[in-house]
Structure 1
Amino acid sequence: MKGLRRPLCLLLAGALVSAPALPAAALASEPTAVMATTTVVRQDAWVAVSVATLWRTPGSPRPVDAPALANPARITRWLADLTTPQRRGLSGRADSQALLGDRVVVLRVRGAWTRVAVPDQPQPGSAHGYRGWVPTRQLSSVAPRAAADRATVVARLGWLHNDDATAHRREHISFGTSLPVLGTTGDWVRVALPDGESRRIAAADVVVHPRGDGALPASRAGLVASAKKFLGLPYLWAGRSGFGLDCSGLTSLVHEVHGLRIPRDASPQSRAGSVVGGAPHRGDLLFFATGGTVHHVSLYVGHGRMIHSPHTGSTVSIIATSTPAYAAEYAGARSYLP
């Protein structure tokens, strides 16, 4: 998406500062000179790539992670190149992901990196939401176009196309990506990108809905149906997109598309919502703990089964709740449905 390469411009102490667009390799290593200056900021920005990974520190990415740091982000290439040990090595390096068009709050800028919070991903102790570092070039300071309706991707992945007669494919975007609607043309929905450019997406891949509403109804059957779209998708630590999911990334993303904002991580999810007494119902969240610490969450699909994204090297799958390894660690259920 060539139009998304505009760097984030930040109004700092009365001066307009544009973060340098460093190559991916430089972002991965981040020289000390680049990290010398940190500026504290409080303003909105918007994710300008298909998926922006939230890193623990600017020094967390490895050379193999360079495709995920680019603009456009080369997520498919990145995941294809990662070995199982390298995927496992994301633990302690990455914490979550944000999607194209998501609003973030800029907390501080350090050279070519920006620390942000994601309001749509609640996190205990953070007033602005889940926090992490992203390459500055993956953000846009341009406010989205005002539009009464949004188009939210409800397919696991959808394609953005040129908004012209060629309708050339430009970028894969994830389930849950929500963009302002500019209009409809036949089988296409025209949407606005964070930098103001327009694209098309197949109407079959999105739901058009009023801004502020959930894309899909909040129902037990709906939550289960959406979760099943990810069956067979490989586990990804910190994953919260149709390219890869961790356990709480699956549950939080699915709930969000159904208009239910829940905490990002499994442990906070286990402390919010409504306690489920007795047997769980479809759409309830099931939690698992060791030594009193919740470490895993799944979605109950009914008939003694649950869907989950278990661990690196596995895929999203449906298993029996009586599976010994999980039954022994069951720690209760919660519901976020009204």
Structure 2
Amino acid sequence: MTDRRFWRANARIGHDSLEGQLTDRPLVPGVTRRIRVPVADLCASPGGKRDKQLLFGQAFVLLEERNGWAFGFDPADGYVGYLRGDVLHDAPEPTHRVTARSTHIYTLDDIKSPDRLQLSCFSELAVVDETEEFAELTTGGFVPAQHLARLSWQAEDPVAVAEAFLGTPYLWGGNSTLGIDCSGLVQFAFHAAGRSCPRDSDLQAKLWDDAGDDLRRGDLVFWKGHVALMLNATQMIHANAHHMAVAVEPFEEARTRIAKKEFGEILRIARP
């Protein structure tokens, strides 16, 4: 059965990777555009529910624009959907990414100058010039140099990345420091460490080996529709609707509460 989250076609058009599978509509290679707003919702249908989000500067392979909506996919994880057409633009290839929890684009290389945008961690930027204090963007504006790293930068520990999100508001389908959900937090943490990870917990649960009886830092605990990261043998971190935030909890206390009120019993514990 085709998973619509990764099916690169709608009723009118498809991606050329589907050659041999689709013969009743045009197949196109698509064109890469980049996100021009701090956070953009990728929806299951035009005006439909949010599946995930893309951040400023990240790529989107555009297959079709129609009635103000852009259909295509995120090349980073293959997720297919619809963005509002006005969140996309042509932009240079990024050279840097934001590694601070968040930052601002300033009008001038002066922290007292007006700020244009607030950006989430992992937004991608094309830098044309750098000083010790600021990076100048090809699209205009300046970002504090301390908040950026080269695009090749990778975090050493996915769990430490998740910990940096502590207190971030819970948002279904969220993928930023403005709001994030359980599987978004896990994907963000592993992508920051240069490791492949799908967006949704049902897909994440199919990866990696089972953990042993001794819980360790970095183990992933899966319920039906929920996932948490172990900080150590007794504590876990997760984005959750109980706290409406990314929170740290004692594992056994959270396990008991979740079993009673939310997602039932644990399905699997994996060790990436």
TM-score range, shorter chain: 0.7 to 0.9
Q: CA separation in 2, counterparts of 1:245 and 1:235? A: 5
Once the two structures are superposed, what CA deviation does each residue of 1:1-53 show, in whole Å capped at 9, x if it has no partner?
xxxxxxxxxxxxxxxxxxxxxxxxxxxxxxxxxxxxx9975221111111111
Distance 1:44 1:313, change over 3 A: same
**Matched residue, 2:62:** 106
Paired residue type of 2:92: P
Once the two structures are superposed, what CA deviation does each residue of 1:105-156 show, in whole Å capped at 9, x if it has no partner?
11322221111211213xxxxxxx112211111101x2414x7xx3221222
Deviation of 1:325 after TM superposition, in Å, equals 2.8
Distance 1:107 1:288, change over 3 A: same
* 1:230 equivalenced with 2:165 (yes/no): yes
Relative contact order (C-alpha < 8 Å, sep 6+): which is higher?
1
Deviation of 1:164 after TM superposition, in Å, equals 4.9
**Matched residue, 1:277:** 212
Paired residue type of 2:210: V
* 1:157 equivalenced with 2:102 (yes/no): yes
Paired residue type of 2:82: W
* SS of aligned partner of 2:245: coil
Q: CA separation in 2, counterparts of 1:268 and 1:167? A: 44
Match of 2:266 among 327, 330, 335: 330
**Matched residue, 2:38:** 50
Once the two structures are superposed, what CA deviation does each residue of 1:52-105 show, in whole Å capped at 9, x if it has no partner?
111222133xxxxxxxxxxxxxxxxxxxxxxxxxxxxxxxx1110001111111
* SS of aligned partner of 2:186: helix
Q: CA separation in 2, counterparts of 1:284 and 1:137? A: 40
Match of 1:191 among 128, 132, 137: 137
Match of 2:52 among 96, 104, 110: 96
Superposed, 1:199-278 pairs within 5 Å as: 199-206=141-148, 208-209=149-150, 211=151, 213=152, 215-218=153-156, 222-278=157-213
Kindly indicate whether the alpha-carbon contact (under 8 Å) linking 1:55 and 1:96 is maintained by their aligned counterparts in 2: yes
* SS of aligned partner of 1:237: coil
Q: CA separation in 2, counterparts of 1:313 and 1:40? A: 45
Q: CA separation in 1, counterparts of 2:56 and 2:188? A: 14
* SS of aligned partner of 2:141: strand
Q: Which runs of 5+ in 2 are unaligned?
A: 1-24
Q: Which runs of 5+ in 1 are unaligned?
A: 1-37, 61-92, 122-128, 290-294
Kindly indicate whether the alpha-carbon contact (under 8 Å) linking 1:155 and 1:229 is maintained by their aligned counterparts in 2: no
Match of 1:144 among 68, 72, 92: 92
Paired residue type of 1:178: E
Kindly indicate whether the alpha-carbon contact (under 8 Å) linking 1:181 and 1:189 is maintained by their aligned counterparts in 2: yes
* 1:319 equivalenced with 2:230 (yes/no): no
**Matched residue, 2:235:** 305
Distance 1:159 1:167, change over 3 A: same
Kindly indicate whether the alpha-carbon contact (under 8 Å) linking 2:98 and 2:124 is maintained by their aligned counterparts in 1: yes
Deviation of 1:163 after TM superposition, in Å, equals 4.4
Paired residue type of 2:100: A
Once the two structures are superposed, what CA deviation does each residue of 1:158-200 show, in whole Å capped at 9, x if it has no partner?
11112456743110000111223323123112233xxxx1322
Kindly indicate whether the alpha-carbon contact (under 8 Å) linking 1:40 and 1:109 is maintained by their aligned counterparts in 2: no
Q: CA separation in 1, counterparts of 2:271 and 2:195? A: 11
Deviation of 1:335 after TM superposition, in Å, equals 3.6
